[in-house]
Structure 1
């Protein structure tokens, strides 16, 4: 009897809370699909159905309850999936993109707990400094190349998206604080618990970000150190980067510099990127970019240049169609590998790899 009576009592309590506090729950998402031509994938050309490229396929539930005084309770549950197969990614489970709950205040900032993006994403990408991946070829424009010997743990190739900026490598068990904006400046810090008894520093993670935005100009910096246990040995993967953007009428210029170092093998890579976005009309924009990446001796001193271009047309406020092309050229004795072309035969058999893509993306 106690159990049956508790159900209507709980329902009454929830109804009363909804009457006295303004709250909302939002269902949103993004879907992208298209066909990509790859000039050299494991030694052969290939046409492939590819999705989640222009932007990731996401399904999100987010909520906000007004607590008064400019404060609110918030939550977000976000899933990433493959449109072609319907399977969850990453790690083949639900809500691994983001899953957090917390408080948001106009005057005190935001405090959240759960699985969350670090500040390589929050500051550098969301700060609008990665024009190539945001307005260009999407996933293909994030940093990757002939650097698989980096051997980053839990990474599809060992070096895919090596600077973490695509958001595929959110951090679990994290507490995160984002400050309010003061005269254009803001910042944040994240700490993730490793959960290893007797060793509080094992498997943990730390990330910080610093942001500035005023008018047409913005600049951001970020640092992330995530620790792993690999074969019983503790290792850390460190990333840091800086970026800036400037809006000049119909043109937006972005610059970005990012790095990675894996302490277990001392492998490291740095990359510098320049992108230009031309807003030809409210419905049509063109993006071009150049990226240079350079690795140390652990990754055989490999380096690569990457060029990309994309033309996007907005069919409506929510739906866009696009064409894009990417060319990566590595050094003569290396194998090119554009980000997002994964699997045992993802890399080219030589130093060149070219992609061409036609796609459609929509938001809801």
Structure 2
């Protein structure tokens, strides 16, 4: 069940194959370390945890030049546990998000530099594509990884894909819940502007919309500034035709050696009316070419459907690059909720028995 965060959505290094105008790339991310969790169901815990700063993924992507500016393209991504080698797939039993060998991503399509791309398969929605990948507005990309994605005292959201007593990744940003049976259009880059839309077929006979999903995104990224907004609506059979709706907006600005980020998201369960808002501000600063520091603050608050619970969370990280591919890091996360609520930091997979929770971690990550 331990889905991991979605970071560095488009990382890969080219590996040439026989055809001169075609290529297949093999790429991956690896992360391992030791974490201390102050309160996990009432007890402190030390654990060897992997896939925290970045998810452990192994993938293939390729293109074939068809001429006239048109290309065929595909992408297959497997997510796994480095600790035991097992495949990680979605916890959901719904046809919207259920998974397997390539549960992270599995799609193919056609791409044009002038007109954009049309792809089909299991794909990320635009909360991930726009706000995480294109804009880079989520501080979790740079500070804390999985521990910095959203969770908290909001079990009342009743998310079908969440572990019990949590609201795991409630704003659909960490990339672990890609959408099956989807058709996606992504525009070309028009002087920094991009937009797109996605529809995921539910596949339920007699009920076209059940287990279906829609998503849209628009962004502008040029020079030091990037801004964007996205919307995703996922219908679930267990919600009797109702849905989990997410929308958000964010920005990123580069200022010398500093990077500033700002993100807002809203999540609503249309079945029970529960809703949670989140606002996050973060910054990273590169002290030297090898050493960087980062920190962010997050505030989450809900309506009566989640007992009006709220929570503050701060995250910090120090990173030292051993090479262009490999770095070591130390990170901390601390969440405090209102009295009477149970804090829950994303990725601990066990809410605190009190209103606060702390995580400290030492880790190493690499990419290929």
Report the TM-score when normalising by structure 1.
0.92
Instruction: Report matched runs for 1:215-234 at 5 Å.
Output: 215-230=223-238, 233-234=240-241
Number of residue pairs matched?
343
Alpha-carbon contact 2:152-2:344 (below 8 Å) kept: yes
> Any residues of structure 2 matched to 1:59-138 within 5 Å, and which?
59-91=58-90, 93-138=100-145
| Contact residue 284 and residue 314 of structure 1 kept, 8 A | yes
Q: Could you list the per-position Cα deviations for residues 286-343 of structure 1 after superposition, in whole angstroms to 9, with x for gaps in the alignment?
A: 111000000111111110000010001111010010000000000011010000011x
- Written as runs of structure 1 = structure 2, the 5 A alignment for 1:316-335 is 316-335=323-342
5+ long unaligned stretches in structure 2 = 1-16, 91-98
Deviation at 1:148, TM superposition (A): 1.4
Unaligned runs of 5+ in 1: 1-16
**CA RMSD in angstroms, aligned pairs only:** 1.4
- 2:269 maps to 262
TM-score, with length taken from structure 2: 0.91
Asked whether the 8 Å contact 1:288–1:308 carries over to 2, the reply is yes
Residue 199 of structure 2 aligns with which residue? 191
- State the secondary structure of the residue aligned to 1:89: coil
Which residue is equivalent to 1:164? 172
- Please state whether the residue corresponding to 1:87 is helix, strand or coil: coil
SS at match of 2:146: helix
- The structural deviation recorded for 1:93 is 2.4
Q: Give the structure 2 partner of residue 150 of structure 1.
A: 157
> How far apart, in 2, do the equivalents of 1:312 and 1:62 lie?
29
Matches within 5 A, 1:176-215: 176-215=184-223
- The offset of 1:198, in angstroms, is 2.7
Cα deviation for residue 104 of structure 1 reads 1.1
Return the alpha-carbon distance in structure 1 between the equivalents of residues 64 and 136 of structure 2: 31
User: Does structure 1 retain, via aligned residues, the 8 Å contact 2:135–2:221?
Assistant: no
Query: Quick check: which has more Rg, 1 or 2?
Result: 1
Counterpart of 1:299 in structure 2 is 306
Instruction: Give the C-alpha shift of residue 154 in structure 1.
Output: 2.2
Higher helix share: 1
Say if 1:283 and 1:18 are closer, same or farther in 2 by CA, change over 3 A. closer
Instruction: Indicate the residue corresponding to 1:12 in structure 2.
Output: none
| 1:256 Cα deviation after fit | 0.1
